[in-house]
Structure 1
Amino acid sequence: MALTGLQVRFAEKGDLKQAKEILRKSFTGSYRYWSELLLGRLDTLVAIMDGRVVGVAEIYTKETKTHGKISVISFIAVDPGYRGRGIGKNLVAEAEKIFREHGCRYSAASTRRDNLASIGMFTKMGYSLYRRGEKEFEELEGPLYAYEDDIILVKKLG
């Protein structure tokens, strides 16, 4: 899934201003508020291309009763001018690699049902989709802080 000229790594202090701008362009309302507040507080991955930050993913790990140690992609965003090039997939793939290294059995994310780009990306990468009301969703809503979302995506890590 390597993209020529793309580097994905943990964010450094100097990356956070550009990462925040991408979050600002990508989210509104409470999603913007929380993604900006958690920037640099959660583990943060950045995608670097053309010498600048073009994507960001905020991740964490949580212990759950039903899934054991689960990893969460809390927020993921790609600069609008760089979307459709596989940058989001590369961020997710790097996050999954880190999660495996930390002994996580599952990776998960949540979103709104109208976020078709995110849903499409995660399902193409092997994530199963669960809707509000389904057992899997109800078990993971709290650990994922998915209270405003109605879709949870889960992948068993090999």
Structure 2
Amino acid sequence: MKEIQLRRAVLDDLDTLLEFEQGIIEAERPFDETLKEEKISYYDLKAFILDPDTEVVVAESDGKPVGSGYARIMDAKSFLKHGKYAYLGFMYVHPEYRGRGINKRIVDALKQWSLSRNISEIRLDVYSDNLAAIRAYEKAGFQRHLLNMRIASGSSGEKE
């Protein structure tokens, strides 16, 4: 197994990171019927790479990016105990590199970056039916906190 290195993303990574974003979207489509059918984008990755309050991390093998993630410092809602928190997103590992602990290493690096910025509250979102992702995040120390629910307009919400 080739050694995996973590580093901060640079603008030269952008084309590969945009491919990773499409991999994330395709993996999430089965969990979210509300996503548009055409090509979509979740992130402004160029802005994230340039933003001093966002850390975009790349995992690479032999100089080739194989995984990614970001932590972004956000303002918390006024009623919460913490004034700011780090939001994690863009978590991706190329399929041939999965199962090697790369995602956990990326999460750990983003947690360390957050702590270095005096941010101890760290959050992320995951689809409730994405059990593999939930297990991975729980292994990284996250706990289930809030479940976001929805109802489609015109639907009774009752299952037959």
Q: How many residues align?
A: 131
Residue 95 (structure 1) aligned to one of 98, 102, 110: 110
1:34 Cα offset (Å): 0.7
TM-score normalised by structure 2 residue count: 0.72
Residue 109 (structure 1) aligned to one of 116, 120, 124: 124
Kept in 1, the 8 Å contact 2:57–2:68? The answer is yes
Q: Return the structure number with greater strand share.
A: 1
Amino acid aligned to 1:105? S
Kept in 2, the 8 Å contact 1:39–1:58? The answer is no
1:6 aligned partner: 4
- The structure-2 alpha-carbon separation of the partners of 1:49 and 1:115, relative to structure 1 and needing over 3 Å to count, comes to same
1:33 aligned partner: 41
Amino acid aligned to 2:41? Y
Secondary structure in 2 aligned to 1:127?
coil
- The structure-2 alpha-carbon separation of the partners of 1:32 and 1:59, relative to structure 1 and needing over 3 Å to count, comes to farther
TM-score normalised by structure 1 residue count: 0.73
Once residues 129 and 115 of structure 1 are traced to their aligned partners in structure 2, the CA distance between those partners, rounded to angstroms, is 13
Amino acid aligned to 1:84? G
Secondary structure in 1 aligned to 2:87?
strand
Structure 1 range deviating more: 14-23 or 82-91: 14-23
1:106-136 deviation per Cα after TM superposition (whole angstroms, max 9, x unaligned)? 1110011122222111111211102326xxx
Secondary structure in 2 aligned to 1:130?
coil
1:130 aligned partner: 145
Amino acid aligned to 1:55? G
Point out where structure 1 has 5 or more consecutive residues left out of the alignment. Answer: 134-146, 149-158
Kept in 1, the 8 Å contact 2:71–2:114? The answer is no
Once residues 73 and 87 of structure 1 are traced to their aligned partners in structure 2, the CA distance between those partners, rounded to angstroms, is 15
Root-mean-square deviation (Å)? 2.3
The percent of aligned pairs where both chains have the same amino acid is 26
